[in-house]
């Protein structure tokens, strides 16, 4: 199994959202990946900030080979946000699991996409968005 990286995790690293003043302002983490990949490969998407409380997310995908699915989560739970999310047709898939909604991230965590179902053919861009806010001290 290979570990692949999104554009946001490839050096030099692209800017990512940071904490804001006062908290409770909605933040968005975004990653894009275009390329091939095999079943079991892991794509490192982005890092979530400590105390990032997830409010939702979606995957925007281009057409890929039949049966391609992604599990999106972190090292502690590989499908915390999306379980077997089909990315075989162009469109949008909303966050599929309640375990990800209202999840309070305890530390800097890398969010990963694990390829399942079938190999990525590398013909389209996959974009992952996760929305939330950072709970800051009072």
Domains and CATH numbers, the chain: 3-10+22-134 (2.60.120)
pLDDT band, very low/low/confident/very high, at 16 (cuts 50, 70, 90): low
pLDDT in tens, 82-129: 998 888 777 788 887 788 899 999 999 999 999 998 888 877 788 999
C-beta contacts of 83-88 below 8 A and 24+ residues apart:
84/116, 84/117, 85/59, 86/117, 87/59, 87/61, 87/126, 88/63, 88/64
Give the CA count within 13 Å in the CB-facing half-sphere of 9. 22
Structure tokens at 129: 């968005």
Higher pLDDT, 14 or 84: 84
For residue 58, pLDDT beyond 50: yes
Rounded CA separation 122/80 (Å): 25
Rounded CA separation 55/132 (Å): 5
Structure tokens at 91: 């469109």
pTM here is 0.81
Rounded CA separation 8/21 (Å): 24
């Amino acid at each position: 199994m290979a570990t692949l990286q999104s554009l946001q995790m490839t050096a030099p690293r692209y800017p990512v959202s940071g904490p804001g003043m006062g908290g409770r302002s909605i933040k968005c983490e975004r990653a894009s990946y275009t390329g091939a990949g095999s079943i079991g490969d892991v794509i490192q998407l982005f890092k979530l900030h400590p105390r990032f409380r997830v409010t939702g997310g979606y995957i925007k995908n281009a057409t890929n080979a039949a049966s391609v699915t992604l599990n999106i989560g972190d090292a502690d739970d590989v499908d915390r946000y999306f379980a077997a999310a089909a990315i075989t047709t162009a469109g949008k898939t909303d966050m599929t699991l309640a375990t990800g909604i209202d999840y309070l991230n305890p530390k800097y965590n890398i969010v990963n996409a694990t390829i399942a179902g079938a190999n990525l053919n590398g013909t389209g861009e996959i974009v992952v968005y996760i929305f939330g806010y950072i709970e800051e001290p009072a």
